[in-house]
Amino acid sequence: MIAVYTLTSELHDPQTVERATSVFLDTLQLDYDYRGGDFAGYGSHPLSVIFVRTGGTEGIFRRLLPQLLLQSDAPFTLLTSGQSNSLAASMEILSFLRQQGLRGEIVHGTVDYMRRRLELLSSVAEARKKLNGCRLGIVGEPSDWLISSTFDAEMVKSRLGIELVKVPMEEVQQLVDETPIPSTFDDSLSSLLSTSHSPLSSLHSSLPGAERIYLALRAMVARYQLQGFTIRCFDLLTSVHNTGCLALAKLNAEGIVAGCEGDVPAMLSMVIGHALTGVSGFQCNPSRIDVETGEILLAHCTIPLNMVERYELDTHFESGIGVGIRGYMREGDVTLFKVSGDLSRSFIAEGCLVRNQVEPDLCRTQQVVRLQDAAQLNYFLSDPIGNHHVVFPGHLADALRQLM
């Protein structure tokens, strides 16, 4: 829901302005809560819009600003119809905000553009609300090879309201030991064994253990009241001789963001995208890049089950044990995203998933994405943000830039 507040000069006839306001807002065809000139509730909605209805309102806004800053720290959204010098006043107000080091933007243009822009800003505001107060677990230390994937917990808390919670890997391993091995598993998983590229006997013996890890991780999420986590999953290969790939695929599909290898920046990228889209995204490694065509091959051994049209079971690639996931995602528009652990940098690129493929010498889920701007791959190679990136369905660049 969008809340609409108004700024109006006393020189204008109130009834005439109100009639014009009603017509203008109705043409936008948005679901909004009209609050008029009463700013007492400013900031209580995910998105509060200030409709600058006339010129001569700059001084009114300056007097209101201390109150508004106490009520909300969100960027200011100034809406203008272009009538009665409203655009000129909005530009003066936004210039003043910039001088104070404050963020904001003017929404002005065609009706279709203003509707789309306000809908996008509303979805971003809703995402911010979901992220604020979110608790994310870091299970064990990041994998030893993630030498650049550091993070700043205080900055993450300050910027997004996300709390990072340390969970000992030993505690999860104990939960696995205490969880009974399931005697049966989902019929849907049983039916997938016939499509496997690995020996059936290997997967039959590994599935109960993979389900046991899933149940243990669900118990950990409940214990720590988490909305997501990343786990040092390779430790499971030696401690329980199985993998977390199936568990993460299922948990992500259930709305619990679950990342691999203790990679905190990748987990943050996943949870930010999840707040916008409702899916956790495909955490993946770049395997090959063609800078000339703009194609990048991305692979990993797990993918959220709600992202794929179908999937197959296989072993984990590097170890050859446990249960890995080969998922086939619908071809079409995607966004490749990664944020640094201190939120100071990000990589955002839109493109198209052109094919899923199966190569024996790569992680099991393999996607070829062609970026709209092939030149972005030069930046990708010259100034990378770690190795893991996240693929989301759809075009999200504008929303991600607003959120970051």
DSSP 173-217: HHHHHHSPPPS---HHHHHHGGG-SS-HHHHHHHHHHHHHHHHHH
- Examine the pLDDT at 195 and tell me if it is beyond 60: no
Confidence at residue 181, expressed as pLDDT on a 0 to 100 scale: 82
Residue with tokens 């009538």: 83
Radius of gyration of the chain, Cα coordinates, nearest whole angstrom: 25
Confidence at residue 72, expressed as pLDDT on a 0 to 100 scale: 94
How far apart CA 384 and CA 377 sit, in angstroms, is 10
Confidence at residue 23, expressed as pLDDT on a 0 to 100 scale: 93
- Examine the pLDDT at 199 and tell me if it is beyond 80: no
H or E element at residue 403: helix 397-403
Give the type of residue at 392. Answer: F
Confidence at residue 186, expressed as pLDDT on a 0 to 100 scale: 60
Domains of the chain, earliest start first: 2-131 (3.40.50.10940), 135-403 (no CATH)
Compute the mean pLDDT over every residue in the chain, rounded to the nearest whole number: 92
Identify the DSSP state of 305.
G
Tokens of 221: 């999420």
Q: Are the CB atoms for 143 and 266 separated by under 8 Å?
A: no
What average pLDDT does this structure show over 290-309?
Answer: 95
Confidence at residue 185, expressed as pLDDT on a 0 to 100 scale: 61
What average pLDDT does this structure show over 96-102?
Answer: 97
Secondary structure class of 332 (helix, strand, coil): strand
pLDDT bucket at 68, cuts 50 / 70 / 90: very high
Confidence at residue 242, expressed as pLDDT on a 0 to 100 scale: 87
Confidence at residue 194, expressed as pLDDT on a 0 to 100 scale: 45
Q: Shortest CA distance to 333 belongs to which of 389, 396, 404, 288?
A: 396
**Helices vs. strands in the chain: H and E counts, helices first:** 13, 17
Give the type of residue at 175. Answer: L
* % of the chain exceeding 70 in pLDDT: 95
Per residue in 167-179, pLDDT (tens digit) is 999 999 999 999 9
Q: Shortest CA distance to 48 belongs to which of 7, 4, 78, 100?
A: 4
Confidence at residue 187, expressed as pLDDT on a 0 to 100 scale: 54
Confidence at residue 353, expressed as pLDDT on a 0 to 100 scale: 98
- Examine the pLDDT at 207 and tell me if it is beyond 90: no
